[in-house]
Each structure stands twice: as C-alpha cells, then as structure tokens.
Chains A and B, each alone.
Chain A
Amino acid sequence: MILNLFDGFGDVLIEVALALTPIAVVFAFFQIFVLKFPKKKIINIIKGVIITFFGLSFFLQGVNAGFMPVGELMGMALGESEYSWVLVPIGFLLGFAVTLAEPSVHVLVDQVEEASGGHINKKVMLITVCIGVSISVALAMLRVIKGIPLWYILIPGYIIAFVLAKFVPAHFVPIAFDSGSAATGPMTVTLILAIVMGAAKQIEGRDPLIDGFGMTTIVALAPILTVLLLGFLYGRKEKETDG
C-alpha cells in the first residue's frame, strides 16, 4: 500500500521540474544582466528553489495518490445513493472548515479591519466569510444534484456585486474584488472539487465538465459579496454619524 502512494512519483518529479524551469531561467537572466547578487545570496536562493521543488512534488503526489481518488470515490458513493442530498450539508461543513483555516482569508480580514478603521471587527468578518463560503459550497453541491446551470448563480451574484460596489466606500471595492481568490486555496481545488466531480460522474444526466467545474467560481463569489456587504453597512453607519 505504501508502494501505491509512490506510484507515478517519477512523472510528478519531471512535471514539477518542467513547471519550475521557466521561472528559474528568468531568475538566471536577471541575475546575470541586472541583479548580480553576491554568491552567498545565490546559494540561499538555490536552496529555496530546491526546497520548493520537493515541496511541490510531494504536494502534487499526495493530491494525485490520496486526495483526488478518495474525494472522487466519496462523491460517487454519495451521488449514487438515495441520500445524495447529504452532499449539501457536507459541503456546508467543508466550506466552513476550509475557510476558517485558510491563511489568505486571515490576511483579508486584517485588511478589512484596517480599511474600516477598526469598525468592522475581525472575528465578525471571519465568521461572515466562513458562512458565505459554506453557503457557496452547499450551493455548488445542490447545483450538481439538481443540474442548475452555472449562469443562474453567477449572473445574480455579479449583478449584486456591481450594484453594491456603487454604494460602498470606494476603498472597499478593490479589496472586495481581490478577495475572490482568497477562499479558493489548495484544499478547495483538491478535495472539494474532487467530491463534486465524483458526484457529477455518478448522478444521471450530469456532465462533470459542464456541471462540475464552476464550483470554485461560486466559492469565489462568497468573500466578494461579504466584503461588499460589510462595506455597505459600514458606509451607512459612517453617514449616520456624520449627519
């Protein structure tokens, strides 16, 4: 079984080497013609690149050999059972756990607290984003089960976002739109997407390409809307105290 885990590791190593080659070439170019770092610094950088190489390789191997097949199997088992609706609460739970733990969400929360001059409490914001993402993941599961077109979710979502953007203090807008990718970290793409794919493969009439992908986009909407909504509430409060 341990052998199983290393299946295809050689291919992964080659892939990762190929993925890191372009960036290494650009670094080398800048080093030779522009930066001209001293030797000591170069050695440190090379060490960093080697660590990154092994990190990326182990990560991808773990995803390929462990996370993806299991996530898919789970999605398939749940999708074909008569209790496929269980996917919705499971999605909610997974969304919450993933977001609460995501480092970039914590960076976002700090940013918003600062932008509101401390008026938007960090903890309130964190919980709000978590609930937002949970609803998104649950919605993504529902979409696979019921075959709801991605349009029906994205269009209202973005219309609300752009309308809200008109009414929030200006400095909230770029923070909100940047936050879209904050909740879609490595765990979302690997485990949750794999579960969605498995379910889409098993449920009759679903095409994983059409009904499965789009999941991270629904997740990305959650922090955008949350930040805008909090910005909207904050803006109104600010006006009240001004007038």
Chain B
Amino acid sequence: MELKETVKEVVYSVVPIVIIVAVVQFALKLPAETIVNFFGGAVFVFIGLVLFLTGVKVGFLPVGESIGNAIVSKGKMWIVLLSGFIIGFVVNVAEPDLQVLAGQIDQVSGGTISKTLIIVVVSLGIGVFLALGLLRNFLKIPMLYLLLGGYAIVFVLSMITPKHFFGVGFDSGFVTTGPMTVPFIISLGVGVSSVMGKHKSDNDSFGLVALSTIGPIIAVLLLGVFFG
C-alpha cells in the first residue's frame, strides 16, 4: 500500500517533465542515441527514486524519530546541540539533491571546487545551523530574528566572496533541503520543541528548515572568502 503511494508520487514527478523534454528533443532533432539515453536515464531515475523513498521510510525515518526522542528525553542542552550537529551533518551527506549539485559544481568549475569539498562544507553548514535552530528552543529567541540575522550575514558575505561562489553558495542552501534532510529536520524539531516549550509547540518547529538553508549558504560563501 505504502509502495503504491510512493510509485504514484514518483510517476507524477517524473513523467510530465520527461514528456516535455522529450518533445523539445524531437523538435531540436537531437541524435537518436541521446534520446534513447535520456529515456534509459529516466527509467533509472524512476526506479531509483521509488527505491530511495521507500528505503528512507522503512529504514531511516523510524530510527531518526527514535534518536530524536532519546536525545530530548535526556534534556541536557549540550547533548541536544551536539546530536543536532552530528545528525544534520551525516543526514545531509546522503542527500541525493546535494550529490547531484556538488557533481555539477565539480564539473563546471573544472575540478577546482571538488565534489567532496562542497558536500563536506555544505553539511557542516547544515549541522551548525540545525544546532543553532535547536538552541533557540532553549533560549526562546523568535525565529524571525534568527532568519533576519542569518540573511544579514549572508548579505555581507556575498559582498566579499568571489563572484563565482555567489550563485553556487545560494544554490547549495536550497538544494540540500531535499527528501532525506527535511523529514529528519522536522521530526527532530518537533521532538525538541514539544518537550521544551509547553505551548505554541507547532509554531516552534516551523522555520527550522528555512534556518537550515542559511547554514550551507554561509558555509560556501565563507569557503569563497578564504579560498576563492
């Protein structure tokens, strides 16, 4: 039953765009070989996404929730923050969208910004900001202030980072919050805020995803400032 839902979901997200791209390919009269490759690739992507989403539901999310509950029940701030950092990091390393983007950055930059470097830097950014987002539950800082502060830092860094790190940095932020990271962040945030703030708990867990997009942006822009 679950599998049927997943298959439906993936069909909806893959088929329309494949059709449009296929039509454009025929119109452009691209060589037959590339078109065959494209459809082959589409089949791979389809199978891959179905398996991936199923695997994440069966194998990863239940563990994520249990870990979230276990951490929070200890109630110690440093344990929550450290775990938030580590979990943000390791989950994000396995994010499919990030793998693709990092590969593209590597290729376009001719290897000067390597895939591994981007993945590690972006994941560090997510880890730090996820921990910060959880810290605000303890210190009761409004989310809007954190977002504004975060974007202010992003703005300043954008001014001083080399041009070619600018777009890359922003894209890293939005791309990394994909099908692997978002469910983890949400379940962790809901767990922590339901224990910490007795009221307004659902308001508290929102904004954590937005905050987690700022982390990688800052991390990549910083990378540019120091090594660009």
Contacts and interface: CB of A to CB of B under 8 A. Distances in A.
Most buried by A among B9, B21, B47, B119: B21
Contacts of A164: none
A193 B104 CA distance: 9
Interface string A58-84: 111111111111110110011000000
Contact of A51 (B51, B147, B151, B171): B51
B216 to A, nearest CB: 11
B60 A23 contact: yes
B149 interface: no
Interface stretch (A118-126, A208-216, A234-242): A208-216
B90 A22 contact: yes
B147 A213 contact: no
Interface in B35-88: 35-60, 62-63, 66-67, 70, 86-87
B40 A2 contact: yes
B52 A49 contact: no
B186 to A, nearest CB: 9
B178 A54 contact: no
Contacts of A158: 151
B179 interface: yes
A68 B206 CA distance: 34
Interface size class of A (residues with CB under 8 A): 35 or more
A53 interface: yes
B52 A56 contact: yes
Contacts of A61: 44, 48
A194 B34 CA distance: 15
Contacts of A219: 174
Contacts of B39: 66
B141 interface: no
A230 interface: no
Contact of B164 (A4, A103, A171, A210): A210
A150 B161 CA distance: 14
Interface of B: 9, 12-17, 20-21, 24-25, 28, 30, 33-60, 62-63, 66-67, 70, 86-87, 89-91, 93-94, 96-97, 99-101, 103-105, 108-109, 119, 143-144, 147-148, 151, 163-164, 166-168, 170-171, 173-175, 177-179, 182, 203, 206-210, 213
